[in-house]
A and B are shown apart, each in its own frame.
Chain A
Protein backbone atom coordinates (compact mmCIF):
# COMPACT_ATOMS: atom_id res chain seq x y z
CA UNK A 1 0.00 0.00 0.00
CA UNK A 2 2.89 2.30 0.74
CA UNK A 3 4.87 0.86 -2.11
CA UNK A 4 6.37 3.50 -4.35
CA UNK A 5 5.07 3.70 -7.89
CA UNK A 6 7.01 1.44 -10.18
CA UNK A 7 7.16 4.04 -12.90
CA UNK A 8 9.58 5.99 -10.72
CA UNK A 9 12.10 3.53 -12.09
CA UNK A 10 12.16 5.28 -15.42
CA UNK A 11 9.95 8.40 -15.36
CA UNK A 12 11.77 11.63 -14.75
CA UNK A 13 10.35 13.72 -11.93
CA UNK A 14 8.49 16.93 -12.76
CA UNK A 15 10.64 19.73 -14.02
CA UNK A 16 13.46 17.58 -15.26
CA UNK A 17 14.25 17.88 -18.90
CA UNK A 18 15.42 14.73 -20.55
CA UNK A 19 18.72 16.14 -21.69
CA UNK A 20 19.06 19.11 -19.40
CA UNK A 21 22.61 19.88 -18.57
CA UNK A 22 22.73 21.66 -15.28
CA UNK A 23 25.38 19.94 -13.32
CA UNK A 24 27.82 22.65 -12.50
CA UNK A 25 29.32 20.38 -9.95
CA UNK A 26 32.66 19.73 -11.56
CA UNK A 27 35.51 22.13 -11.36
CA UNK A 28 38.74 22.50 -13.21
CA UNK A 29 41.41 20.26 -11.89
CA UNK A 30 44.93 21.49 -11.46
CA UNK A 31 46.79 18.41 -12.45
CA UNK A 32 49.71 20.10 -14.15
CA UNK A 33 52.32 19.11 -11.63
CA UNK A 34 51.39 15.66 -10.41
CA UNK A 35 51.86 16.11 -6.70
CA UNK A 36 49.92 19.35 -6.54
CA UNK A 37 46.98 17.63 -8.08
CA UNK A 38 44.53 18.62 -5.39
CA UNK A 39 41.34 19.44 -7.15
CA UNK A 40 39.52 22.48 -5.91
CA UNK A 41 36.28 21.98 -4.15
CA UNK A 42 33.65 21.79 -6.77
CA UNK A 43 31.32 24.63 -7.68
CA UNK A 44 32.67 27.47 -5.59
CA UNK A 45 29.67 29.53 -6.58
CA UNK A 46 27.33 27.04 -5.03
CA UNK A 47 29.22 26.51 -1.82
CA UNK A 48 26.98 26.74 1.18
CA UNK A 49 23.90 26.31 -0.93
CA UNK A 50 21.96 23.16 -1.55
CA UNK A 51 24.12 20.74 -3.41
CA UNK A 52 22.01 20.84 -6.51
CA UNK A 53 19.44 22.98 -8.20
CA UNK A 54 15.82 22.31 -7.49
CA UNK A 55 15.66 20.57 -10.83
CA UNK A 56 17.70 17.45 -10.37
CA UNK A 57 19.76 16.71 -13.44
CA UNK A 58 19.95 13.32 -15.08
CA UNK A 59 23.71 13.27 -15.04
CA UNK A 60 25.90 14.87 -12.45
CA UNK A 61 29.65 14.83 -12.34
CA UNK A 62 31.28 15.38 -8.99
CA UNK A 63 35.07 15.49 -8.95
CA UNK A 64 36.63 13.71 -6.04
CA UNK A 65 38.05 16.14 -3.52
CA UNK A 66 40.83 13.86 -2.35
CA UNK A 67 41.86 11.68 -5.26
CA UNK A 68 43.31 13.26 -8.38
CA UNK A 69 41.66 12.55 -11.70
CA UNK A 70 38.75 10.88 -10.05
CA UNK A 71 35.08 11.68 -10.29
CA UNK A 72 31.72 10.28 -9.35
CA UNK A 73 29.00 10.22 -11.95
CA UNK A 74 25.44 9.99 -10.82
CA UNK A 75 23.07 8.78 -13.48
CA UNK A 76 19.35 8.96 -12.80
CA UNK A 77 16.72 6.47 -13.85
CA UNK A 78 19.15 3.87 -15.06
CA UNK A 79 20.12 0.53 -13.57
CA UNK A 80 22.57 -2.38 -13.87
CA UNK A 81 21.77 -2.64 -17.58
CA UNK A 82 23.66 0.52 -18.38
CA UNK A 83 25.91 0.67 -15.34
CA UNK A 84 27.57 -2.68 -15.82
CA UNK A 85 28.10 -2.09 -19.54
CA UNK A 86 29.80 1.23 -18.77
CA UNK A 87 31.92 -0.22 -16.02
CA UNK A 88 33.18 -3.10 -18.13
CA UNK A 89 33.88 -0.85 -21.08
CA UNK A 90 35.76 1.62 -18.87
CA UNK A 91 37.92 -1.17 -17.50
CA UNK A 92 39.01 -1.99 -21.05
CA UNK A 93 40.64 1.42 -21.25
CA UNK A 94 44.29 1.34 -20.09
CA UNK A 95 43.99 4.95 -18.91
CA UNK A 96 41.33 3.98 -16.41
CA UNK A 97 42.82 3.17 -13.03
CA UNK A 98 39.53 2.44 -11.36
CA UNK A 99 35.96 2.03 -12.47
CA UNK A 100 33.14 0.74 -10.34
CA UNK A 101 29.46 1.31 -9.88
CA UNK A 102 26.82 0.79 -7.27
CA UNK A 103 23.14 1.25 -6.85
CA UNK A 104 23.02 2.70 -3.37
CA UNK A 105 19.49 1.62 -2.50
CA UNK A 106 16.80 -0.43 -4.21
CA UNK A 107 14.27 2.35 -3.74
CA UNK A 108 16.53 5.00 -5.30
CA UNK A 109 16.50 4.77 -9.04
CA UNK A 110 19.97 5.88 -9.90
CA UNK A 111 23.47 4.50 -9.87
CA UNK A 112 26.79 6.07 -9.14
CA UNK A 113 29.87 5.35 -11.17
CA UNK A 114 33.30 6.11 -9.80
CA UNK A 115 36.13 6.53 -12.23
CA UNK A 116 39.77 7.33 -11.69
CA UNK A 117 42.07 7.90 -14.62
CA UNK A 118 45.73 8.52 -15.33
CA UNK A 119 46.74 12.22 -15.20
CA UNK A 120 46.81 12.72 -18.97
CA UNK A 121 43.04 12.43 -19.26
CA UNK A 122 39.97 12.85 -17.09
CA UNK A 123 37.00 10.76 -16.02
CA UNK A 124 34.43 12.57 -18.15
CA UNK A 125 36.59 12.11 -21.20
CA UNK A 126 37.14 8.38 -20.73
CA UNK A 127 33.46 7.92 -20.00
CA UNK A 128 32.67 9.69 -23.24
CA UNK A 129 35.00 7.32 -25.05
CA UNK A 130 33.46 4.31 -23.35
CA UNK A 131 29.98 5.41 -24.36
CA UNK A 132 31.09 5.95 -27.95
CA UNK A 133 32.65 2.50 -28.05
CA UNK A 134 29.51 0.93 -26.66
CA UNK A 135 27.30 2.73 -29.16
CA UNK A 136 29.48 1.35 -31.93
CA UNK A 137 29.35 -2.10 -30.40
CA UNK A 138 25.57 -2.16 -30.06
CA UNK A 139 25.20 -0.64 -33.52
CA UNK A 140 27.38 -3.32 -35.00
CA UNK A 141 25.54 -6.00 -33.04
CA UNK A 142 22.28 -4.71 -34.46
CA UNK A 143 23.64 -4.66 -38.00
CA UNK A 144 24.94 -8.19 -37.66
CA UNK A 145 21.61 -9.28 -36.27
CA UNK A 146 19.72 -7.70 -39.15
CA UNK A 147 22.04 -9.27 -41.69
CA UNK A 148 21.71 -12.71 -40.17
CA UNK A 149 17.98 -12.23 -39.93
CA UNK A 150 17.79 -11.82 -43.69
CA UNK A 151 19.74 -15.04 -44.05
CA UNK A 152 17.62 -16.87 -41.51
CA UNK A 153 14.38 -15.71 -43.10
CA UNK A 154 15.48 -16.64 -46.59
CA UNK A 155 16.56 -20.04 -45.37
CA UNK A 156 13.29 -21.82 -45.95
CA UNK A 157 14.12 -24.64 -43.59
CA UNK A 158 14.33 -22.24 -40.69
CA UNK A 159 11.20 -20.23 -41.35
CA UNK A 160 8.24 -22.25 -40.38
CA UNK A 161 5.14 -21.09 -38.66
CA UNK A 162 5.00 -22.81 -35.35
CA UNK A 163 7.17 -25.82 -36.08
CA UNK A 164 10.54 -24.60 -37.23
CA UNK A 165 13.73 -26.47 -36.74
CA UNK A 166 15.06 -27.25 -33.36
CA UNK A 167 18.66 -27.09 -32.25
CA UNK A 168 18.41 -30.31 -30.35
CA UNK A 169 16.76 -32.27 -33.12
CA UNK A 170 19.82 -32.64 -35.33
CA UNK A 171 23.33 -31.42 -35.92
CA UNK A 172 23.55 -27.67 -36.32
CA UNK A 173 24.79 -26.43 -39.65
CA UNK A 174 27.89 -24.51 -38.68
CA UNK A 175 28.46 -23.04 -42.12
CA UNK A 176 26.30 -19.98 -41.64
Chain B
Protein backbone atom coordinates (compact mmCIF):
# COMPACT_ATOMS: atom_id res chain seq x y z
CA UNK B 1 0.00 0.00 0.00
CA UNK B 2 1.60 3.17 -1.14
CA UNK B 3 0.28 5.80 1.17
CA UNK B 4 2.57 8.48 -0.17
CA UNK B 5 2.34 7.59 -3.88
CA UNK B 6 6.09 7.46 -4.13
CA UNK B 7 6.93 4.06 -5.49
CA UNK B 8 5.84 1.62 -2.86
CA UNK B 9 7.57 0.22 0.21
CA UNK B 10 11.26 0.59 0.88
CA UNK B 11 13.37 -1.98 2.67
CA UNK B 12 16.70 -1.44 4.28
CA UNK B 13 18.49 -4.34 5.90
CA UNK B 14 20.42 -3.21 8.96
CA UNK B 15 22.02 -6.43 10.00
CA UNK B 16 22.13 -9.87 8.55
CA UNK B 17 23.39 -12.71 10.65
CA UNK B 18 23.21 -16.43 10.36
CA UNK B 19 19.98 -16.77 12.28
CA UNK B 20 18.76 -13.25 12.79
CA UNK B 21 18.15 -10.20 10.72
CA UNK B 22 17.13 -6.62 11.32
CA UNK B 23 15.48 -4.53 8.68
CA UNK B 24 13.51 -1.34 8.39
CA UNK B 25 10.39 -1.26 6.28
CA UNK B 26 9.21 2.19 5.26
CA UNK B 27 6.54 3.82 3.16
CA UNK B 28 3.84 1.26 3.73
CA UNK B 29 0.76 0.82 5.83
CA UNK B 30 0.78 -0.77 9.25
CA UNK B 31 -1.57 -3.48 7.99
CA UNK B 32 0.94 -4.65 5.38
CA UNK B 33 3.84 -4.62 7.82
CA UNK B 34 1.73 -6.51 10.33
CA UNK B 35 0.64 -9.02 7.71
CA UNK B 36 4.29 -9.68 6.94
CA UNK B 37 4.96 -10.24 10.62
CA UNK B 38 1.98 -12.56 11.01
CA UNK B 39 2.89 -14.60 7.93
CA UNK B 40 6.51 -14.97 9.02
CA UNK B 41 5.38 -16.32 12.37
CA UNK B 42 2.51 -18.56 11.36
CA UNK B 43 2.39 -19.38 7.67
CA UNK B 44 5.86 -20.13 6.39
CA UNK B 45 6.07 -23.92 6.04
CA UNK B 46 8.87 -25.86 7.70
CA UNK B 47 9.57 -29.44 8.68
CA UNK B 48 8.92 -30.83 12.15
CA UNK B 49 8.55 -34.25 13.70
CA UNK B 50 4.86 -35.07 13.70
CA UNK B 51 4.64 -38.78 14.42
CA UNK B 52 6.79 -40.92 16.66
CA UNK B 53 6.78 -44.70 16.70
CA UNK B 54 8.42 -45.85 19.90
CA UNK B 55 9.80 -49.36 19.90
CA UNK B 56 11.64 -49.41 23.20
CA UNK B 57 11.63 -46.85 25.94
CA UNK B 58 13.08 -47.72 29.27
CA UNK B 59 14.12 -44.18 30.09
CA UNK B 60 12.62 -42.21 32.94
CA UNK B 61 10.52 -40.13 30.59
CA UNK B 62 7.20 -41.35 29.25
CA UNK B 63 6.64 -42.04 25.57
CA UNK B 64 4.44 -39.00 25.04
CA UNK B 65 6.85 -36.77 26.93
CA UNK B 66 9.67 -37.81 24.60
CA UNK B 67 7.40 -37.54 21.55
CA UNK B 68 6.53 -33.98 22.53
CA UNK B 69 10.18 -33.08 23.02
CA UNK B 70 11.04 -34.55 19.63
CA UNK B 71 8.33 -32.50 17.97
CA UNK B 72 9.90 -29.30 19.28
CA UNK B 73 13.30 -29.94 17.69
CA UNK B 74 13.86 -27.58 14.77
CA UNK B 75 14.74 -29.35 11.54
CA UNK B 76 16.58 -27.75 8.64
CA UNK B 77 13.89 -26.76 6.17
CA UNK B 78 15.59 -24.82 3.38
CA UNK B 79 14.53 -27.55 0.97
CA UNK B 80 10.94 -27.72 2.20
CA UNK B 81 9.48 -26.82 -1.20
CA UNK B 82 10.48 -30.24 -2.46
CA UNK B 83 8.27 -31.93 0.11
CA UNK B 84 4.49 -32.13 -0.18
CA UNK B 85 1.96 -31.67 2.54
CA UNK B 86 0.83 -35.12 3.62
CA UNK B 87 -2.81 -34.17 3.16
CA UNK B 88 -2.10 -33.31 -0.50
CA UNK B 89 -0.10 -36.49 -1.07
CA UNK B 90 -1.54 -39.54 -2.78
CA UNK B 91 -0.18 -41.93 -0.18
CA UNK B 92 -2.33 -43.33 2.59
CA UNK B 93 -0.30 -42.46 5.66
CA UNK B 94 3.09 -41.07 4.73
CA UNK B 95 5.68 -41.61 2.04
CA UNK B 96 9.07 -40.19 1.00
CA UNK B 97 7.30 -37.48 -1.02
CA UNK B 98 5.57 -36.02 2.00
CA UNK B 99 7.73 -37.01 4.96
CA UNK B 100 11.23 -37.63 6.23
CA UNK B 101 12.11 -40.44 8.57
CA UNK B 102 14.45 -39.96 11.49
CA UNK B 103 15.55 -42.80 13.68
CA UNK B 104 17.08 -42.88 17.10
CA UNK B 105 18.55 -45.82 18.89
CA UNK B 106 20.56 -45.36 22.05
CA UNK B 107 21.36 -48.13 24.46
CA UNK B 108 23.58 -47.49 27.45
CA UNK B 109 25.47 -50.61 28.39
CA UNK B 110 26.26 -51.34 31.96
CA UNK B 111 29.97 -51.17 32.57
CA UNK B 112 30.52 -53.21 35.72
CA UNK B 113 34.06 -51.91 36.21
CA UNK B 114 32.91 -48.31 36.55
CA UNK B 115 29.69 -49.19 38.29
CA UNK B 116 30.77 -48.26 41.78
CA UNK B 117 33.09 -45.41 40.91
CA UNK B 118 31.24 -42.21 41.84
CA UNK B 119 33.77 -40.02 40.02
CA UNK B 120 32.63 -41.28 36.62
CA UNK B 121 29.53 -39.63 35.22
CA UNK B 122 27.47 -42.49 33.92
CA UNK B 123 24.68 -40.34 32.55
CA UNK B 124 24.25 -40.57 28.80
CA UNK B 125 22.76 -37.46 27.29
CA UNK B 126 20.58 -38.30 24.33
CA UNK B 127 20.51 -35.27 22.08
CA UNK B 128 19.21 -34.21 18.70
CA UNK B 129 22.57 -35.31 17.29
CA UNK B 130 21.53 -38.91 17.95
CA UNK B 131 18.68 -38.57 15.49
CA UNK B 132 19.64 -40.07 12.15
CA UNK B 133 17.78 -38.60 9.24
CA UNK B 134 16.96 -40.41 6.03
CA UNK B 135 17.25 -37.12 4.18
CA UNK B 136 20.40 -35.04 4.19
CA UNK B 137 18.48 -31.78 3.77
CA UNK B 138 16.15 -32.38 6.71
CA UNK B 139 17.99 -32.98 9.95
CA UNK B 140 18.04 -31.45 13.40
CA UNK B 141 19.49 -27.96 13.56
CA UNK B 142 22.91 -28.37 15.10
CA UNK B 143 24.86 -25.15 14.95
CA UNK B 144 26.24 -25.50 18.41
CA UNK B 145 27.81 -28.94 18.49
CA UNK B 146 28.97 -28.40 22.05
CA UNK B 147 25.42 -27.80 23.27
CA UNK B 148 23.07 -29.92 21.19
CA UNK B 149 19.38 -30.09 22.01
CA UNK B 150 18.85 -32.48 24.87
CA UNK B 151 16.07 -35.03 24.50
CA UNK B 152 16.51 -37.27 27.54
CA UNK B 153 19.21 -38.33 29.99
CA UNK B 154 19.81 -42.03 30.38
CA UNK B 155 21.40 -44.30 32.96
CA UNK B 156 23.28 -47.50 32.23
CA UNK B 157 20.91 -50.29 31.28
CA UNK B 158 18.31 -48.04 29.71
CA UNK B 159 17.38 -48.07 26.05
CA UNK B 160 15.52 -45.80 23.71
CA UNK B 161 14.61 -46.86 20.19
CA UNK B 162 12.20 -44.97 18.06
CA UNK B 163 11.30 -43.79 14.58
CA UNK B 164 10.12 -40.26 13.89
CA UNK B 165 8.16 -39.06 10.91
CA UNK B 166 8.82 -35.42 10.09
CA UNK B 167 6.20 -33.67 8.03
CA UNK B 168 5.77 -30.34 6.38
CA UNK B 169 3.44 -27.95 8.12
CA UNK B 170 2.71 -24.40 9.12
CA UNK B 171 2.65 -22.83 12.57
CA UNK B 172 -1.05 -22.10 12.24
CA UNK B 173 -1.50 -25.77 13.04
CA UNK B 174 1.17 -26.05 15.71
CA UNK B 175 3.86 -23.61 16.81
CA UNK B 176 6.55 -26.26 16.31
CA UNK B 177 6.35 -25.48 12.59
CA UNK B 178 7.17 -21.84 13.09
CA UNK B 179 10.45 -20.92 11.38
CA UNK B 180 11.02 -18.07 13.82
CA UNK B 181 11.74 -17.92 17.51
CA UNK B 182 10.82 -14.30 17.64
CA UNK B 183 9.86 -11.42 15.45
CA UNK B 184 10.24 -8.04 17.04
CA UNK B 185 8.17 -5.36 15.48
CA UNK B 186 8.28 -1.72 16.43
CA UNK B 187 7.14 1.55 15.00
CA UNK B 188 7.05 5.09 16.30
CA UNK B 189 9.58 4.62 19.16
CA UNK B 190 8.83 8.07 20.58
CA UNK B 191 5.11 7.30 20.68
CA UNK B 192 4.38 10.35 18.60
CA UNK B 193 1.17 8.77 17.34
CA UNK B 194 0.11 7.91 20.89
CA UNK B 195 -0.77 4.36 19.97
CA UNK B 196 0.78 3.25 23.25
CA UNK B 197 -0.52 4.11 26.66
CA UNK B 198 2.16 3.53 29.21
CA UNK B 199 1.37 2.48 32.71
CA UNK B 200 3.34 4.79 34.94
CA UNK B 201 3.85 5.50 38.58
CA UNK B 202 5.15 9.05 38.34
CA UNK B 203 7.13 9.91 35.28
CA UNK B 204 6.71 8.29 31.88
CA UNK B 205 10.10 9.34 30.52
CA UNK B 206 11.97 8.02 33.52
CA UNK B 207 10.11 4.77 33.80
CA UNK B 208 9.90 3.98 30.09
CA UNK B 209 13.11 4.60 28.22
CA UNK B 210 13.23 4.74 24.45
CA UNK B 211 14.31 1.76 22.40
CA UNK B 212 17.46 1.51 20.31
CA UNK B 213 15.37 2.25 17.23
CA UNK B 214 14.69 5.75 18.56
CA UNK B 215 18.13 6.75 17.25
CA UNK B 216 16.57 6.69 13.79
CA UNK B 217 13.88 9.24 14.55
CA UNK B 218 13.70 12.77 15.87
CA UNK B 219 12.46 13.13 19.44
CA UNK B 220 9.06 14.66 20.06
CA UNK B 221 9.14 18.33 20.93
CA UNK B 222 6.90 18.66 24.01
CA UNK B 223 5.43 21.86 22.54
CA UNK B 224 4.51 20.44 19.17
CA UNK B 225 0.79 19.95 18.63
CA UNK B 226 -0.53 16.42 18.28
CA UNK B 227 -0.96 15.46 14.66
CA UNK B 228 -4.06 13.30 14.68
CA UNK B 229 -3.75 12.58 10.94
CA UNK B 230 -0.28 11.10 11.24
CA UNK B 231 0.11 7.46 10.28
CA UNK B 232 2.94 5.09 11.09
CA UNK B 233 5.23 4.52 8.13
CA UNK B 234 8.51 3.19 9.47
CA UNK B 235 8.67 -0.29 10.92
CA UNK B 236 11.66 -1.80 12.68
CA UNK B 237 11.52 -5.55 12.29
CA UNK B 238 13.88 -8.13 13.68
CA UNK B 239 13.55 -11.78 12.75
CA UNK B 240 15.22 -14.49 14.75
CA UNK B 241 14.93 -17.94 13.25
CA UNK B 242 15.16 -21.34 14.84
CA UNK B 243 18.00 -22.15 12.46
CA UNK B 244 15.71 -24.14 10.17
CA UNK B 245 16.27 -21.62 7.39
CA UNK B 246 17.98 -18.30 6.89
CA UNK B 247 16.14 -15.23 8.19
CA UNK B 248 16.11 -13.56 4.79
CA UNK B 249 14.59 -16.71 3.38
CA UNK B 250 11.82 -16.57 5.97
CA UNK B 251 11.00 -12.99 4.97
CA UNK B 252 11.08 -13.74 1.26
CA UNK B 253 8.92 -16.80 1.63
CA UNK B 254 6.50 -14.81 3.76
CA UNK B 255 6.20 -12.20 1.02
CA UNK B 256 5.60 -14.92 -1.56
CA UNK B 257 2.87 -16.35 0.64
CA UNK B 258 1.28 -12.91 0.93
CA UNK B 259 1.36 -12.65 -2.86
CA UNK B 260 -0.23 -16.08 -3.16
CA UNK B 261 -2.98 -15.16 -0.73
CA UNK B 262 -3.81 -11.99 -2.63
CA UNK B 263 -3.35 -13.67 -5.99
CA UNK B 264 -5.77 -16.42 -5.02
CA UNK B 265 -8.33 -13.85 -4.04
CA UNK B 266 -7.80 -11.95 -7.27
CA UNK B 267 -8.36 -15.10 -9.32
CA UNK B 268 -11.56 -15.79 -7.42
CA UNK B 269 -12.77 -12.26 -7.92
CA UNK B 270 -11.96 -12.43 -11.63
CA UNK B 271 -13.92 -15.67 -11.86
CA UNK B 272 -16.85 -13.94 -10.27
CA UNK B 273 -16.70 -11.25 -12.92
CA UNK B 274 -16.46 -13.80 -15.72
CA UNK B 275 -19.28 -15.84 -14.28
CA UNK B 276 -21.69 -12.99 -14.44
CA UNK B 277 -20.37 -9.84 -16.01
CA UNK B 278 -23.86 -8.47 -16.17
CA UNK B 279 -24.45 -8.90 -12.50
CA UNK B 280 -23.17 -5.53 -11.46
CA UNK B 281 -24.04 -3.78 -14.69
CA UNK B 282 -20.49 -3.87 -16.01
Contact = CB atoms under 8 A, between A and B. Distances in A.
A141 B212 contact: no
Interface stretch (B25-33, B67-75, B129-137, B193-201): B25-33
B46 to A, nearest CB: 15
A86 B6 CA distance: 20
B128 to A, nearest CB: 19
A50 to B, nearest CB: 19
A158 B22 CA distance: 11
A96 interface: no
A49 to B, nearest CB: 18
Contact of B12 (A28, A84, A127, A148): A148
Given A21-B272, A127-B269, A141-B11, A135 B259 contact: yes
Chain A contact residues (Cβ within 8 angstroms of B): what range? Answer: 35 or more
Interface string A139-159: 111101111110111000011
A91 to B, nearest CB: 10
A75 interface: yes
Contact of B275 (A24, A131, A163): A24
B161 interface: no
B271 A85 contact: no
Contact of A137 (B12, B32, B215): B32
A114 interface: no
A162 B279 contact: no
Contacts of B43: 10, 81
B264 A19 contact: yes
Interface string B9-44: 111111111101011010011111011101100010
A172 B215 contact: yes
Interface in B199-254: 212-213, 215-216, 248, 251-252
A176 B16 CA distance: 14
Interface in A5-36: 6-7, 9-11, 18-19, 21, 23-24, 26-29, 31
A89 interface: yes
A148 B11 CA distance: 7
Interface centre among B35, B216, B248, B251 (most CB of A within 10 A): B35
B31 A87 contact: yes
B11 A82 contact: no
A137 B36 CA distance: 12
B269 A59 contact: yes
A87 B10 CA distance: 22
B118 interface: no
A125 interface: yes
Nearest to A147: B11
B35 to A, nearest CB: 5
A78 B39 CA distance: 12
A152 B16 contact: yes
A145 B251 contact: yes
B269 A92 contact: no
Contacts of A152: 13, 16
Nearest to A160: B17
Contacts of B17: 160-164
Nearest to B42: A81
B54 interface: no
Contacts of A167: 14-15, 22, 212-213
Interface of A: 6-7, 9-11, 18-19, 21, 23-24, 26-29, 31, 58-59, 61, 75, 78, 80-82, 84-85, 87-89, 92, 122, 124-125, 127-128, 131-142, 144-149, 151-153, 158-168, 171-172, 176
Interface of B: 1-3, 7-18, 20, 22-23, 25, 28-32, 34-36, 38-39, 43, 87, 143, 170, 172-174, 212-213, 215-216, 248, 251-252, 255-256, 258-259, 261-276, 278-282
7 contacts: A88-B32, A128-B270, A141-B25, A145-B23, A149-B13, A164-B16, A165-B15
